[in-house]
Amino acid sequence: MMANGVDPDLVAALRNARNVMVLTGAGVSAESGIPTFRDALTGLWRNFDAASLATPEAFRRDPALVWGWYEWRRMKALSARPNAGHLAIAQLSSHVEHLSLFTQNVDDLHERAGSRAVQHLHGSLHHPRCADCARPFSLPASAPVEPEGGRRLAPPACPACGGLVRPGVVWFNEALPEDILARAFASCRASDLLIVAGTSGTVYPVAQLPEVARRAGCRVVQVNPVASELDRVCTWNLRGTAAQLLPAMVSRAW
């Protein structure tokens, strides 16, 4: 059902829910100025397709092109601030008995908004590791200064084995962290309400979570300014942005 505000049935469902699951995508960080996954293909990377650049093969083929992209995105993430959508999700956890937060985003804006136990299904920009020995590599906490149009940048060498340092994200054709994915499926089956915000619902296996939840009897509300692949499985499809509608949902319920 399409609702352009916050439906009274949804408000009641939110108020009465004991276990709430939240699943976010790049759209939740858009109002913080972080380009969504597809919008991040600009400048030097404008002629690339995300699914071909965010892969181990692309990194093997041209590590400087890929590392430059991630450093540019890390700069964007570190220069951004959590928006009202991130803050509403953090606030929600103080109203419901149990809140589980899963994100496809690789930024740390949920954490900086105050959310705890943020489950990163697709990894993080802030935890690179050696591509050979997997040893974690610590980057300077300050935002790198990358040109707006991007540049190629040779990745650092691992101090332990000399291998190339890679971004700590899950690339296409890489497995998601098994424990986090298992928790996400379990949460779909244990929740009364799933809030899905800011995702196109096009990347698997995460894209199947809302349907798993719905089949388990969990009601699903989507927040997205436009229709997505998930519309067909959601109980409510709210047309609007995360920074507008998530705070509206929380303030109507409590």
In 9-86 the beta strands, taken as DSSP E runs, fall at: 19-24
In 34-183 the beta strands, taken as DSSP E runs, fall at: 98-103, 118-120, 123-130, 165-169
The H or E element containing residue 74 is: helix 63-79
Are 34 and 76 in contact, with CB atoms under 8 Å apart? yes
Per-residue interface string for the shown chain with Zn ion, residues 104-133, x marking contact by CB under 5 A: --------------------------x-xx
Cα 117 to Cα 124: distance, rounded to the nearest angstrom? 14
Asked if 56 is part of the footprint of ligand BV8 (rule: CB under 6 A), the reply reads: no
Please tell me whether residue 56 adopts helix, strand or coil conformation: helix
Residue 158 binds what, of Zn ion, ligand BV8, none (CB under 5 to 8 Å, by partner type)?
Zn ion
The minimum distance between CB 166 and Zn ion, in angstroms, equals: 10
Which residue of the set 86, 110, 122, 126 is catalytic?
A: 122
Per-residue interface string for the shown chain with ligand BV8, residues 127-156, x marking contact by CB under 6 A: ------------------------------
Other CB atoms within 10 A of residue 1 CB: 9
Cα 139 to Cα 99: distance, rounded to the nearest angstrom? 31
Size of the site for ligand BV8 (CB under 6 A): 36
Cα 52 to Cα 171: distance, rounded to the nearest angstrom? 10
Q: Which stretch binds ligand BV8 (CB under 6 A): 2-10, 131-139, 213-221, 222-230?
A: 222-230
Are 166 and 174 in contact, with CB atoms under 8 Å apart? no
The minimum distance between CB 109 and ligand BV8, in angstroms, equals: 13
Cα 19 to Cα 218: distance, rounded to the nearest angstrom? 10
The minimum distance between CB 18 and Zn ion, in angstroms, equals: 45
Among 86, 120, 122, 166, binds ligand BV8 (CB under 6 A): 122
Active-site residue 122, yes or no? yes
Are 34 and 77 in contact, with CB atoms under 8 Å apart? yes
Q: Which stretch binds ligand BV8 (CB under 6 A): 4-12, 27-35, 134-142, 182-190?
A: 27-35
Asked if 175 is part of the footprint of ligand BV8 (rule: CB under 6 A), the reply reads: yes
- Residues 188 to 217 in contact with ligand BV8, rule: CB under 6 A: 197-200, 202-206
CA 215, 218, 224, 227 dihedral sign is positive
Tokens of 18: 């004991």
Q: Which residues bind ligand BV8 (CB under 6 A)?
A: 25-27, 30-31, 36-38, 51, 54, 104, 106, 122, 169-175, 197-200, 202-206, 223-226, 228, 241-242
Which positions are annotated as active-site residues? Answer: 122
> What are the residues binding Zn ion (CB under 5 A)?
130, 132-133, 135, 158, 160-161, 163
